[in-house]
C-alpha cells in the first residue's frame, strides 16, 4: 500500500490476528445451553469506559473484549447523604457495613430496632448498573479484563448474553445497597462463566422479581473476603439472590467462599440445579430456601460451612441424601443424582421430588461424583482460567 510503512502493515496484521484469535471459550451447560451471545461478530476492544458503556447498551450484536481495567470509580461523582448504621452492625472499630437508605431501607424498619442515622458518602457509579443489550458477549483476555466500580444489568427483555472471564470489583463495599455486580431481571438465556466478583456492597448476582427464564452460572469465583462485614468476621453476607419468577438456574462448578449468608437465597418459584460447586469458609448459612424456592443440590462439597441450609427454610429441597433415593433423579434429570460431601460443616437435608417435572424437556447439566470437586473447582473457577 502506498504511503504505509512496513511497521504500520505489521501493526495492522497483528490487530487482525488478535481479532480472529479471541472469542468465547467453550459452550454453556445447563438451562442456558443455547446461549450464543454476540455470536460471530468481530471482536472489538473498547478504548475507555464511555465506549464500553455505549457498546454494552446498544442494540448491535457484539463481542466486546476487555484487555485492561475499566475504572468507573469517580466517573459519576460521589454522593453524601443520610444513611444508617443498622442495628446488626455491632462490629468494633467501624468494621461492619453501614447502609445507604435505598428504597427507604433505613427508615422503613428493615435496618432493625436501634438503627441510627449517620452520614454516608458513596461513589455514584456503583449504585447504578450498565444495562446490557441483547446478543452480547463480554469476555476478558487472561486476567486483565476488569470492571471496577460498576455492575452489569441484563433486564427488560434483554436476552442471549454471555459474560466470561472478567473481574467485577469495588462497588462501595463498605455499604449495604452499595451496588450489585450482576443483575438479571426479565431476561432470558444468560451465561455467566469464569467470572470473579469481589468487594461488592450488596449481591454478587441477583435475579430480580421478574422472570429471567434460563440462566447458567458456571465456573465463577464469588469471593466474600471483605473488611466491611455485616457479620463482623470479614465474610460477606449478601451474596447470591435468586428470587425471580419461575427462573431456571444452573449453578455449576462455582467457588463460593468467605461468605456468611444468602449463598444463595432462593424463592419466587425458581428452580436451582446446584451441581459440583465448592462452598468454603461460610460462617453462617449457604442455602436459604424460601417458600416457592426449589433446589436440587448434588455432587457439591461443603467445607467449613456452619449451615449448608438455613434452619427453618420453607422451600423444597432435594439434597441427594443417599444412593437409593438419588435414583429418583433419573427420570427427569437424566442421571442418578450424586452425593454431596461435608467437611467440618453442618448438614443439608431434604428429599422433596414433587418439582422434578420442572426439569422435563430442559437441558440439564451433567453431574460428577464429589470426589476431587474441591480441588478441581478451586483450580478452574474464576478469571484467567479459560
1-58 tens-digit pLDDT? 445 455 444 444 444 444 446 899 999 999 999 999 999 999 999 999 999 999 999 9
Q: Point out the catalytic residue in the list 62, 153, 202, 262.
A: 262
Q: Backbone dihedral region of 266: left (phi > 0), alpha (psi from -120 to 50 degrees) or beta?
A: beta
Residue 18: the pLDDT is: 45
- Please indicate, yes or no, whether the overall pTM of this predicted structure exceeds 0.85: yes
- Identify the sign of the CA torsion 42, 26, 224, 241: positive
Q: Which residues of the chain have pLDDT under 50?
A: 1-2, 4, 7-20
Known catalytic membership, residue 153: no
State how far the Cα of 15 lies from the Cα of 21, in Å rounded to an integer: 10
3-state helix, strand, coil in the chain (%, to 5): 15, 35, 50
State how far the Cα of 17 lies from the Cα of 26, in Å rounded to an integer: 20
Instruction: Evaluate whether the domain defined by 127-380 bears CATH number 2.70.70.10.
Output: no
State how far the Cα of 254 lies from the Cα of 376, in Å rounded to an integer: 10
Residue 21: the pLDDT is: 63
352-368 tens-digit pLDDT? 999 999 999 999 999 99
Q: Which residue in the block uniquely carries the three cell numbers 437508605?
A: 101
Q: How many CA atoms lie within 13 A of 297 on its CB side?
A: 32
Residue 4: the pLDDT is: 47
DSSP string covering 200-230: ESS-SEEE-SS---EEEEES-EEE-B-SS-T
Q: What ranges do the domains of the chain cover?
A: 127-380
Q: What is the three-class DSSP state of 294? A: strand
Amino acid at each position: 500500500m502506498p504511503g504505509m510503512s512496513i511497521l504500520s502493515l505489521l501493526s495492522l496484521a497483528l490487530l487482525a490476528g488478535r481479532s480472529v484469535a479471541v472469542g468465547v471459550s467453550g459452550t454453556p451447560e445447563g438451562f442456558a445451553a443455547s446461549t450464543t451471545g454476540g455470536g460471530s461478530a468481530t471482536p472489538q476492544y473498547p478504548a475507555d469506559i464511555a465506549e464500553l458503556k455505549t457498546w454494552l447498551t446498544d442494540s448491535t450484536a457484539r463481542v466486546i473484549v476487555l484487555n485492561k481495567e475499566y475504572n468507573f470509580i469517580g466517573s459519576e461523582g460521589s454522593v453524601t447523604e443520610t444513611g444508617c448504621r443498622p442495628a446488626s452492625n455491632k462490629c468494633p472499630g467501624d468494621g461492619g457495613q453501614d447502609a445507604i437508605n435505598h428504597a427507604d431501607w433505613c427508615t422503613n424498619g428493615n435496618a432493625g430496632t436501634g438503627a441510627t442515622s449517620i452520614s454516608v458518602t458513596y461513589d455514584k457509579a456503583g449504585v447504578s448498573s450498565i444495562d446490557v443489550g441483547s446478543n452480547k458477549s463480554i469476555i476478558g483476555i487472561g486476567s486483565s479484563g476488569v470492571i471496577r466500580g460498576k455492575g452489569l444489568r441484563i433486564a427488560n427483555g434483554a436476552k442471549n448474553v454471555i459474560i466470561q472471564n472478567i473481574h467485577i470489583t469495588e462497588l462501595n463495599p463498605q455499604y449495604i445497597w452499595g451496588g450489585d455486580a450482576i443483575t438479571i431481571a426479565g431476561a432470558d438465556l444468560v451465561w455467566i462463566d469464569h467470572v470473579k466478583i469481589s468487594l461488592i456492597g450488596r449481591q454478587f448476582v441477583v435475579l430480580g422479581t421478574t422472570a429471567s427464564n434460563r440462566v447458567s452460572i458456571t465456573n465463577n469465583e464469588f469471593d466474600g473476603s471483605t473488611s466491611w462485614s455485616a457479620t463482623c468476621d470479614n465474610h460477606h453476607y449478601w451474596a447470591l439472590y435468586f428470587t425471580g419468577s419461575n427462573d431456571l438456574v444452573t449453578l455449576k462448578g462455582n467457588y463460593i467462599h468467605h461468605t456468611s449468608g444468602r449463598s444463595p437465597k432462593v424463592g419466587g418459584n425458581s428452580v436451582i440445579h446446584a451441581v459440583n460447586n465448592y462452598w468454603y469458609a461460610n460462617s453462617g448459612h449457604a442455602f436459604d430456601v424460601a417458600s416457592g424456592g426449589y433446589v436440587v443440590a448434588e455432587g457439591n462439597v461443603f467445607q467449613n460451612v456452619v449451615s449448608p441450609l438455613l434452619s427453618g427454610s420453607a422451600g423444597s429441597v432435594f439434597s441427594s441424601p443417599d444412593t437409593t433415593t438419588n435414583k429418583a433423579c433419573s427420570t427427569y434429570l437424566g442421571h442418578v443424582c450424586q452425593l454431596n460431601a461435608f467437611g467440618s460443616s453442618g448438614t443439608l437435608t431434604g428429599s422433596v421430588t414433587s418439582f422434578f417435572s420442572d426439569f422435563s424437556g430442559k437441558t440439564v447439566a451433567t453431574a460428577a461424583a464429589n470426589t476431587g470437586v474441591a480441588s478441581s473447582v478451586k483450580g478452574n473457577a474464576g478469571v484467567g482460567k479459560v
